[in-house]
Chain A
């Protein structure tokens, strides 16, 4: 359980970092956009991905199982 949380958090941190970099690169320097707000937004996005990374991973795994099951059932119906 502890390992799973660490793995999820690590994945979340990595995705969050990429998401933050995208926000910064797409908004910084654009006319009319508040630069401080951009940095604040980016940091929050990173933090949220990090905090919820393990939960997102858990939901993703649940989704993988249920989606596979659903496709298997649908294939059975179509046959």
Chain B
């Protein structure tokens, strides 16, 4: 919720969401300062692991009003995307807002606005702002490394995936990669042919989505259309037709997802036998598994590496380190001299006082927000980028635009009670079916189109973005691209 006239804003984070927010707020006359603890912009795209890159096609992952160049490859490599963010910054004239290499260490309430303590490596200062926008993403704070016993006994090296800047770090080593998400499988795949031996250890298998379904159709056509969005567990405010599809019509979505599972398991040969007779078949139905934090579009070749034994896959947990490797929960011991955690990042906002986190009702799911941006109990604090989507850049650009419209009084918010009731509905809806996780409050994924619809309606923009004579069919079966939102942001 926004109180009083906003003239100045501090944005924490100079990644995709921070830059989009700076652009939109500047356009409505707000003086913005963007702080980032790193000495370069880009957030997660500034400095990733070896060969990191975008896992979805480029027309899904670009700013709607600033397309990637024609020459950019379909799956944008990380360094190219970082350059693109630099260009975005220059194109919209927001570079002068940036204060890189400066960390926000504390914020506290002052009147309707905020007092912030910010500092670089040598000095610190206090500044005031009417509005604080946290645009630090979901997973930017600390690497998540499971607490495994007897770490001190292990004579080898333990790394987080983010520390693998060059795959030659693993040259001629016996490596165990822990995890089954994007970074884990990327590192394991890259290590093949470089490392002496590669193990991939994971407890839970997830449905990997191939870049092309049946080797022909880009996955977005099979996963990211309104037709498919009508077949996933219904949104918090479903239309009557979707409600009917999931009650009396339930055999239809059930059949659809079983066919999807059959296609995915056949195409990717998920029944491949791995250690101890296990397979790569997930246990959770695909329509629910798609909402876990591990939504993976693996690079081509991963399953082939596993089938051929170039990656030795173990579907089990790690029970302890030993002097020369790790002991697995299934009784096996792996002799390795390097363990890489591809287990993601922890979520955290160390600069937010406990009193604010308590007001946000921070819990095991994280905290729930009105339109994933504002909370009625903490006025003039906004979050942009706290939503997981397959089109994150578009989602964050829409959030930033929505926030700017709210600040400019062109989008009117409901009263605090109505906002809280909306938040409560969102929370109980997610908790009723979505897999648990520390970021469940922020998970949208295939539901992103419904969330975009809400933001667009708030801004009096038409949620039906397709144009032309056949637009109604396109709305149903053609996936949205970032470009479809160009005239909104």
Spell out A's residues near B (CB within 8 Å). 15, 18-19, 22, 26, 30-34, 37, 40-41, 43-45, 48, 56, 59-64, 66-67, 70
Contacts and interface: CB of A to CB of B under 8 A. Distances in A.
Given A41-B475, A63-B250, A63-B255, 13 more contacts: A15-B244, A32-B459, A32-B460, A34-B462, A37-B464, A40-B472, A41-B464, A43-B472, A61-B251, A66-B254, A67-B250, A67-B254, A70-B258
Contacts of B457: 30, 32
A34 B471 CA distance: 13
Nearest to A32: B460
Contact of B251 (A26, A32, A44, A63): A63
A20 to B, nearest CB: 10
B240 to A, nearest CB: 6
Contacts of B476: 48
13 contacts: A19-B241, A32-B457, A32-B462, A34-B462, A34-B464, A37-B471, A41-B464, A48-B472, A48-B473, A59-B255, A63-B255, A64-B251, A66-B255
B473 A44 contact: yes
A60 B251 contact: yes
B471 A41 contact: yes
B240 A22 contact: yes
Interface string B30-47: 000000000000000000
A33 B251 contact: no
A22 B251 CA distance: 23
Interface in B272-316: none
B178 to A, nearest CB: 32
B218 interface: no
Chief secondary structure at chain A's binding surface? helix
B461 interface: yes
Contacts of B461: 32
Contacts of A26: 239
A56 B240 contact: no
Most chain B beta-carbon contacts within 10 A, residue among A19, A31, A60: A60
Given A22-B239, A37-B462, A37-B464, A66 B258 contact: yes
A51 to B, nearest CB: 11
A42 to B, nearest CB: 9
B473 A56 contact: no
A18 to B, nearest CB: 7
Contact of A44 (B460, B462, B472): B472
A38 B431 CA distance: 34
A45 to B, nearest CB: 7
**Shortest 9 CB-CB contacts between residues of A and residues of B:** A63-B251, A32-B460, A44-B472, A63-B255, A64-B251, A31-B460, A41-B472, A19-B241, A67-B251
Nearest to B461: A32
Given A34-B462, A44-B472, A67 B255 contact: yes
A72 to B, nearest CB: 14
Contacts of B460: 31-32
B414 interface: no
A56 B473 CA distance: 16
Given A34-B462, A37-B471, A48-B476, A60 B249 contact: yes
B488 to A, nearest CB: 10
Contact of A22 (B241, B258, B473): B241
Nearest to A42: B472
Contacts of B241: 15, 18-19, 22
A60 B473 contact: no
B470 to A, nearest CB: 8
A19 B250 CA distance: 17
Contacts of A33: 462
B252 A56 contact: yes
Contacts of A63: 250-252, 254-255
Contacts of A31: 460
Contacts of A66: 251, 254-255, 258
A56 to B, nearest CB: 7
B401 to A, nearest CB: 14
A43 B462 CA distance: 18
A25 B239 CA distance: 12
A62 to B, nearest CB: 6
Contacts of A48: 472-473, 476
Given A32-B461, A41-B471, A44-B472, A18 B240 contact: yes
Nearest to B251: A63
B445 to A, nearest CB: 24
A7 B343 CA distance: 53
A31 B249 CA distance: 33
A39 B363 CA distance: 44
A19 B239 CA distance: 9
